[in-house]
Amino acid sequence: EGTNKTFGVHAAGVVIAADPLDELVPLQRNNDGQVITQYYMEDVEAMGLLKMDFLGLKNLTMIDKTIDLVAQSTGESLDPDALPLNDPSTYGLLARGDLEGIFQLESSGMRQ
DSSP 24-85: TS-EEE-TTS-EEESS-HHHHHHTT-EEEE----SHHHHHHHHHHHHHHHH-----GGGS-T
**Any domain includes 79:** yes
Q: pLDDT tens digits for 43-95?
A: 999 999 999 988 777 888 888 999 999 999 999 999 999 999 999 999 999 89
Question: Do 46 and 67 share a domain, yes or no?
Answer: no
Answer yes or no: is pLDDT of 19 > 90.
yes
> Residue 97's domain spans which residues?
59-111
Alpha-carbon distances, residue 69 vs 72, 79, 83, 101 (angstroms): 5, 13, 17, 16
Question: Do 64 and 102 share a domain, yes or no?
Answer: yes
Question: Do 66 and 107 share a domain, yes or no?
Answer: yes
**Any domain includes 87:** yes
Band (21; pLDDT cuts 50, 70, 90): very high
- pLDDT at residue 27, as a whole number: 94
- pLDDT at residue 67, as a whole number: 95
Whether this prediction's pTM lies above 0.75 is answered by: no
**Any domain includes 78:** yes
Question: Do 49 and 73 share a domain, yes or no?
Answer: no
Number of domains in the chain: 2
Q: pLDDT tens digits for 27-39?
A: 999 888 989 999 9
Question: Do 73 and 44 share a domain, yes or no?
Answer: no
Q: pLDDT tens digits for 84-98?
A: 999 999 999 989 988
Sign of CA dihedral 111, 63, 93, 88: positive
**Any domain includes 2:** no
**Any domain includes 17:** yes
Question: Do 48 and 64 share a domain, yes or no?
Answer: no
**Any domain includes 82:** yes
Question: Do 32 and 68 share a domain, yes or no?
Answer: no
